[in-house]
Structure 1
């Protein structure tokens, strides 16, 4: 009975969210129709927020049926829909790419990011030992579509990165204390939006910085294993 009542409550919550989402999409269409792009931006943000909340509830729904493998199947579905690229650059820098911008603080949901990233990191390091950078810079490169107006780009201190940082540090660092791990944030333009994360030895950060402006449109090529010559700092 507990599973049945929990399923019913979760389904009702999802239905309410979907009704709000439908209204927000209609409002967005209306504002876009009258060419009020400022209000279009505001209501489209509401669409994005409600969509993230609805996705979280929808992910929980199968588990309330009592199926023992529900969580595993949902994780597989997520991986098949949201492709996270993980690997090492030619220089041996660890990197991952997510095909999305991270949510603003206090908006959207960081749990959604965890459900995407954590299983992918587990899979990537399943057949190899975690890399352990001793003294490094954790870099966030927020890549925006060229069509997005400058005013719609987020301030770096208003982006939710903590959950991503915790997961990356778990697999790539000996210690993420401030004395061992520095942070750097930057933005770039491309044809599609995404978030790129790099872990770079501190003494090689200037090299990364000088190369960043010439990165390919889809980011540097990534390999499954770090080049042997780069492992001196791990």
Structure 2
């Protein structure tokens, strides 16, 4: 969306990874953290496909779900070329400040 607002080219991915980052408010009960089923993922993936992907077939698209504790409830979506995913996941958290561990 940021690229569209800046009137930059919006990429169309042939081989991509979609990362769903589910952030839960760390001040609320941990019982709220839930399993994210494929039904919800499919709705979001269909919308992303309409704008950015060649196809959402497993031949072209991978998905990743990450759960973190943070300051507020939110879901972040990252769409990237699959070749960039290994570096992204290894650096994830460093740039967001979102922690996996909860004491």
Bin of the TM-score, shorter chain as denominator length: 0.7 to 0.9
CA RMSD of aligned residues (A): 2.3
Q: What is residue 36 of structure 2 aligned with on the other side?
A: 156
Q: How many matched pairs?
A: 97
SS at match of 2:94: coil
Change (3 A) 1:208 1:162: same
Q: Does 1:197 align with 2:77?
A: yes
Alpha carbons 1:140, 1:186 under 8 Å: kept: yes
Task: Give the Å deviation of 1:128.
Answer: 5.1
Q: How does 1:31-70 map onto structure 2 within 5 Å? A: none
- What TM-score comes out, normalization by structure 1 length? 0.37
Structure 1 counterpart of 2:24, from 117, 125, 144: 144
Bigger strand share: 2
Task: Give the Å deviation of 1:130.
Answer: 3.6
Task: Give the Å deviation of 1:184.
Answer: 0.7
Using the alignment, how far apart are the partners of 2:68 and 2:2 within structure 1? Answer: 20
Alpha carbons 1:191, 1:217 under 8 Å: kept: no
Q: What is residue 166 of structure 1 aligned with on the other side?
A: 46
Q: How does 1:215-234 map onto structure 2 within 5 Å? A: 215-217=95-97
Residue-by-residue CA offset, 1:64-94 (whole Å, 9 max, x unaligned): xxxxxxxxxxxxxxxxxxxxxx336xxxxxx
- Larger Rg: 1 or 2? 1
Task: Give the Å deviation of 1:149.
Answer: 2.1
Change (3 A) 1:129 1:204: closer
Q: What is residue 98 of structure 1 aligned with on the other side?
A: none
Task: Give the Å deviation of 1:158.
Answer: 6.7
- What TM-score comes out, normalization by structure 2 length? 0.79
Change (3 A) 1:188 1:176: same
Q: What is residue 64 of structure 2 aligned with on the other side?
A: 184
Q: What is residue 87 of structure 1 aligned with on the other side?
A: 2
Using the alignment, how far apart are the partners of 1:167 and 1:148 within structure 2? Answer: 30
Alpha carbons 1:136, 1:199 under 8 Å: kept: yes
Bigger helix share: 1
Residue-by-residue CA offset, 1:196-220 (whole Å, 9 max, x unaligned): 01112111111111111213248xx
Q: What is residue 101 of structure 2 aligned with on the other side?
A: none
